[in-house]
Amino acid sequence: MIEILRNIAAFVVLLGILITAHEFGHFYIARRCGVKVLRFSVGFGKALWRRVGQDGTEYVIGMIPLGGYVKMLDERVEDVPADQVDQAFNRKSVWARIAIVAAGPIANFIFAIIALYFMYLLGLPAVKPVLQSVNPNSPAAVLNVTQPQQITAVSGQSVRNWEEVNLALVSHIGEESLSLTLTPVAELIAPDSDATAVGKTVQLDIRRWKFNPEKESPISTLGLIPYRPNLVPELAVVNKGSAAEAAGLKVGDVISSINGEEFTDWTRFVELIKASPNQTIPLSVMRDGQSLSLSITPQGRLNDNGVTEGFIGVAPKLPEWPENMKIDLQYGPVEAVSMAADKTWQLVVVSTKMIGKLFTGDVSVKSLSGPISIAQGAGSSADIGLVYFLGFLALISVNLGIINLLPLPVLDGGHLLYYFIEVITRKPVSERIQEIGFRFGAALLLVMMSIALFNDFARL
């Protein structure tokens, strides 16, 4: 229950910030173009707070935080006093109307840059994208990794951590190939050095690369196996009511053997547990310098493929990452501007490609996410830390800006489409055609939202 409330609170904060940024873009440019703004509302429904400013604009916070709007003086909506006609939206030039409508999505892109700017100022801790090996039966098998190597570029795009690798890989879904540039870890050049590391670039055939983004990672499905420090056999978590607690295991126990097999690594330990659902197996641990012999019966549960696997409810103590594998993406006040702008552009490119691939069928509609998924992401990122929440804010802000630019008549992009037609034909699109377009756009948007909500509930 606490987690749900946390997610809802983070979602409301996130949506409130992004809606305010979007509507402020419309508001600011409308005022600059001489349009009278009657109301600036964040949220719909009954007003929780309202105030009329000295500029005559009514500022409102609505009860339902799922959108917002800027109401401008417009003769098409209501009667306008003769002395205010020149301040009506519909009386402005087509280029002024284009600027006002486009300002909302543009404000979302600018806000993403601001959020990422502060993220880079604070510093984003991460680990370098170092490969331990590759899956021999995968598109990445051609890399032939025999020693740890760092991925420094994906199809010529520089990458610094696994999040950037993931983002770059996703943009290639549905394509025929991509390239990875690798540099052996031993040859990596220190950040302060003037020298440059020389890497090899390998082309990967990805025509048969398919994966379910709901359940699988593009990194693992491509066959890339990231470097991870070996997990130690010391238990850091023992869940209450679990098979581990019933067997007498405690936090701090060090596993020495299981089912008569000496502990070698955590992966092998997990495999043995999964292969023994509802079967009692012997287990030896070290506790306070003494060896204890226990018996444990893993609980059975179904995995995503419907197969019953063993589960005991423990987690190991996490080892420290080697210092040469860590990276802190932190920049000064000036450099952070270019880094934030570059990252925003990358998000715009990838998001645009993904939306395009939804229509071509290269990406399944099952990947669409709605408010529930966004709320979960907002809550999780806020729980991890401010820098991660800022990064999530930027991602959603970019997507909000792109979606609003889609040429659907109920969105900003639809209005822009009509205005650009007016620029070409030198006359406004007829109200009848606009009405038909609005109905079609509303229906299509409702279908997309329904699919996103269905996907959200299916993931719960």
For 18-54, the pLDDT digits (tens) are: 999 999 999 999 999 999 999 999 988 888 899 998 8
Quote the CA–CA distance of 150 and 269 in Å, as a whole number.
28
Q: What is the DSSP string of 299-359?
A: EEEE-TTS-EEEE--EEEPPPPPPGGGEEEE---TTHHHHHHHHHHHHHHHHHHHHHHHHH
CATH code of the domain made up of 235-316: 2.30.42.10
Residue 33: the pLDDT is 94
For residues 450-456, give the mean pLDDT: 66
For residues 319-348, give the mean pLDDT: 89
The share of the chain scoring above pLDDT 90, in percent, equals: 30
Quote the CA–CA distance of 264 and 79 in Å, as a whole number.
80
C-alpha distances (whole Å) from 239 to each of 269, 278, 412 are 17, 18, 50
pLDDT in tens, 281-290: 998 999 988 8
Q: Is the pLDDT of residue 418 over 50?
A: yes
Q: Do the Cβ atoms of 41 and 64 come closer than 8 Å?
A: no
Average pLDDT over the chain reads 84
Q: Is the pLDDT of residue 262 over 70?
A: yes
Q: How many Å from the N-terminal Cα to the C-terminal Cα in the chain?
A: 14
| Every domain of the chain and the residues it spans | 2-33+92-121+391-459, 124-229+320-329, 235-316
Quote the CA–CA distance of 390 and 10 in Å, as a whole number.
12
Residue 380: the pLDDT is 67
23: its two tokens: 């509507």
Helix-strand-coil percent breakdown of the chain, rounded to 5?
A: 45, 25, 30
pTM score, whole prediction: 0.79
Instruction: Report angle CA 11, 315, 167 to the nearest 5 degrees.
Output: 45
Q: Is the pLDDT of residue 359 over 60?
A: yes
Q: Is the pLDDT of residue 332 over 90?
A: yes
Catalytic residues: 23
For residues 130-136, give the mean pLDDT: 89
Q: Which residues lie across from 258 on neighbouring strands?
A: 261, 283
Quote the CA–CA distance of 170 and 173 in Å, as a whole number.
6
| Residue 42 main-chain phi, psi, to 5 deg | -105, 110
| Separation of CA 118 from chain center | 18
Please determine whether the domains at 124-229+320-329 and 235-316 fall in the same fold group of CATH: yes
| CATH architecture observed for domain 124-229+320-329 | Roll (2.30)
